[in-house]
Amino acid sequence: MSRKKYRCRKPAAAKAPPVALLPLGAMLFGMTMMPSAMAAETAAKEATLATVEVKEQQEAETQDGYQATKTRVGKVLQDPHDIPQAVTTVTNKLMEEQQVGSLREALRNVSGLTFNAAEGGRSGDNMMLRGFYTFGDTYLDGIRDTAQYNRETFNLEQVDVLRGSAAMLFGRGQAGGVINQVSKVPLRKDQYRFTGSLGTEGYQEITADLNKRLGDSTAMRVNLMNRDEGSWRSNPVTGDEPEIHRRGIAASIATGLRTDNEFVLSHVYTRTRDIPDYGFSFDSSIRKPNKNFPVEYFWGIDRNFDDSDTHITTGTWTHRFSPVSELRTAIRYADYERSYWASAPSSITPPDADGNSPKTRMMDYETLTLQSDFNTRFRALGMKHEFLAGVEYLHEDSYRIGLQDLGGYYKPYVGSTTASPVKFKGDSYAAYVQDTVEFMPFWKATLGVRRDELDAEYSSTTSPSLRYGEWSYRAALSWQPREEQHYYLSWSDSFSPTADLYQLTLEPQPPERSQVYELGAKFLFFDGDLALRGALFRAEKEWERNTDLESTASVLTKKRRTDGIELEAAGRLTDNWEVFAGVALMDAEILEVAEQSNGTVANPEYKGKRPRNTPPYTFNLWTTYKLPGGWKIGGGVEAKGERYGYNPSSAGPVPTLNGKFHPNTAPAYARWDAMVAYEQKNWALRLNIRNLFDEVWYDAIYDQGGFVVPGAGRQAILTGELKF
């Protein structure tokens, strides 16, 4: 475990209750004013309590609360408070209290994030952040995890979201940000935890987290998960409903813990056997979800399937040259297999016993990755330096094809005998360097550069190969006048080449390029117990690509932009009161319409319109309060504004209603959740109620505007926990 400075925290009795009881909204609104107002009080505290630097190595453990104090999302273990870029961390504690099982559910705690419905082969976890795609920006422990599948959280310690372009650190990607899943690792102590859950709509889940110390510097950890779940929606003819059936096992062993040479070997296997829910159609006459059928209608049948098997094996070696220098090398082999048959909804035909408009696919995606990162701290020319350097190799081998029609039904992994498969095989190479220099007291400058090279072969006869080399950059200026305050101005860029994660084109288009500018401030209050951050940002993307692999138009927009403001709070207001909250206000606009390689230009009336699936606001809040006797109560809300679905690359008329621009629209919503728990040292009981008021809300929208996916109805889940 890397050595680092940890915040000193005073005893609870020394805290100031009047300030802690300020309303959350007032705290978020006044966060930029509070540091100066508290400066005199902070100075007085420092006069009586000096900063303590804990030099001993710390054991990695589950975060005790909603505020993360360490992350590797910047390629080196550090406090997110010190990163000159907006970072949101969903901790293990937060996921446990919300009874989160999937990555998708965990990301509801991230402001500015929305969900896309599956189409065109782009199925599985599919999110938008700040209005931009993230399907190429999902990582597991810093290594690309871009396959199309549904991710689980049973083996995750936390989820870090680094907002903004991050190609200098991670390679090709988007403008919204990077989603990095952080796996649980072996600990130098015996620790065991079991949970069992039962709920309405057929909800059943069991998990186990088993850690065993095998010696002074050796330990192993095993995590298990089994979850089954039904739905409030069903086919009125057959009674069939969407279902979730997921299993998982993760095993890891580590040796050399707390030594100069640490080795960790892990393997994760997840299995999915779902009946997929393809959603509910729109009514083009009113531009809203269909009113011809009840929203609880499901067009699928029990013969539909979404099967996947994912194997990920990783070996990591960390060599520490000194307390301030280390080399971390990781190698991973991953194999993602998936096959599905879904029934699409209809706006005019009711569900039947045979399923409607089948959507089928089978795919196999294999990757081999080698990464090596070196970081060190030193002084030169009278200045402090934090230096990073790294190299990366990635081999990808992808195969995708539709399923064979066997007389109105399909079988998993039985591919079409007439269609041509889409194949892709590529080798990527990258190297980067970054230096953060404290050029004067309290002031730091960060500058980084990266070079990526790709050599790929495709099955397409019109675009058989892709070779490119691209530079990426990152720059930031930070001012930290004291430990509790951090003000920064940052700039970063990103790129995605023609055909990478997108469809192929007859003639290669320029690569996607993104530029993100961000002005932010981060504060720590109550001796570090509460973290607040705010950010103003502008994100611009050029040559935005279509993610629908079956679409005929490759470019969505030639240029578009999102301006926004984000405010977030995470941590403790008092010893008993915890909060995690965020709000994002986004003003998104198409600046230039699409131009295709064949000369087709999109309708110029799309210029100035709000892009797809980018609501003007999102808000999330989760808060809990400990009561006497081991009781705890909590609850929260997730809210999003209206989200559009339409095709901005079309040369035809823009969608209108009553003479005004009005695409198919997923309505705004606010979903409330609640929790009550009884906790003791070695066991606990917890009752979660999702969608407390049983509202009809729409979770995800197909960005082309064809359909929308209703969110879950009211659901109660009772969980028992045993730990020792």
Cα–Cα distance list, 701 to 126, 167, 652 (Å): 11, 27, 22
pLDDT given at position 195: 98
Q: Could you give the CA distance from residue 455 to residue 428 in angstroms, rounded to a whole number?
A: 7
pLDDT given at position 661: 95
Other CB atoms within a 10 A radius of the CB of residue 24 amount to 14
For residue 342, pLDDT over 80 is answered with yes
Helix spans in 102-188 (H): 103-106, 167-170
Query: Average pLDDT for residues 425-452, to the nearest whole number?
Result: 96
Q: Could you give the CA distance from residue 663 to residue 640 in angstroms, rounded to a whole number?
A: 17
For residue 64, pLDDT over 70 is answered with no
- Higher per-residue confidence, 50 vs 323: 323
By C-alpha distance, which of 553, 618, 470 is closest to 165?
Answer: 470
Percent of the chain surpassing pLDDT 70? 87
Q: Could you give the CA distance from residue 268 to residue 252 in angstroms, rounded to a whole number?
A: 9
**Which H or E run contains 39?**
helix 39-48
For residue 50, pLDDT over 60 is answered with no
Q: 477 pairs with which residues across the strands? A: 445, 489
Query: Average pLDDT for residues 156-181, to the nearest whole number?
Result: 92
For residue 349, pLDDT over 60 is answered with yes
The rounded mean pLDDT for the chain is 88
pLDDT classification of 498: cutoffs 50, 70, 90: low
pLDDT given at position 500: 57
**Which H or E run contains 25?**
helix 24-29
Q: How far from chain centre, in Å, is Cα 581?
A: 16
Domains, the chain, with CATH or none = 12-311+321-723 (2.40.170.20)
pLDDT given at position 598: 80
DSSP state of 233: -
Q: Could you give the CA distance from residue 310 to residue 333 in angstroms, rounded to a whole number?
A: 11
Query: Residues with Cβ < 8 Å from 174, sequence gap 6 or more?
Result: 129, 132, 133, 134, 136, 137, 165, 494, 496, 512, 514, 541
pLDDT given at position 296: 95
Query: Average pLDDT for residues 484-494, to the nearest whole number?
Result: 96
For residue 86, pLDDT over 50 is answered with yes
- Higher per-residue confidence, 113 vs 8: 113
For residue 26, pLDDT over 90 is answered with no
For residue 80, pLDDT over 50 is answered with yes
Length of the chain: 724
Q: What is the pLDDT of residues 547-572, one digit of tens each?
A: 655 555 678 899 999 999 999 999 99
**Burial (CB count <10 Å: 0-12, 13-18, 19+), residue 353:** exposed
pLDDT given at position 122: 57
- Higher per-residue confidence, 487 vs 470: 487
By C-alpha distance, which of 86, 247, 60 is closest to 158?
Answer: 60
Which is it for strands 261-274 and 443-458: parallel, antiparallel or unpaired?
unpaired
By C-alpha distance, which of 638, 699, 710, 625 is closest to 672?
Answer: 638
Rg, the chain, Cα only: 25
For residue 671, pLDDT over 70 is answered with yes
pLDDT given at position 117: 86
pLDDT given at position 548: 57
pLDDT given at position 38: 38
> What own/partner pairs with CB < 8 Å and gap ≥ 24 does 498-501 have?
498/463, 498/466, 498/545, 498/554, 499/456, 499/458, 499/463, 499/466, 500/136, 500/172, 500/454, 500/456, 500/466, 501/135, 501/136, 501/146, 501/545, 501/547
Do the beta carbons of residue 180 and residue 170 sit within 8 Å? Answer: no
Query: Average pLDDT for residues 76-83, to the nearest whole number?
Result: 94
Q: 177 pairs with which residues across the strands? A: 163
For residue 534, pLDDT over 90 is answered with yes
pLDDT classification of 21: cutoffs 50, 70, 90: very low
Query: Average pLDDT for residues 562-584, to the nearest whole number?
Result: 97
Q: What is the pLDDT of residues 94-111, one digit of tens each?
A: 999 999 999 999 999 999
- Higher per-residue confidence, 581 vs 548: 581
For residue 322, pLDDT over 50 is answered with yes
Query: Average pLDDT for residues 245-268, to the nearest whole number?
Result: 97
Query: From start to end of 627-712, where are the E strands?
Result: 631-640, 643-645, 656-657, 660-661, 664-666, 669-679, 683-690, 698-701, 707-710
By C-alpha distance, which of 658, 659, 568, 652 is closest to 618?
Answer: 568
Q: What is the pLDDT of residues 356-367, one digit of tens each?
A: 889 999 999 999
Query: Average pLDDT for residues 223-249, to the nearest whole number?
Result: 97
For residue 4, pLDDT over 80 is answered with no
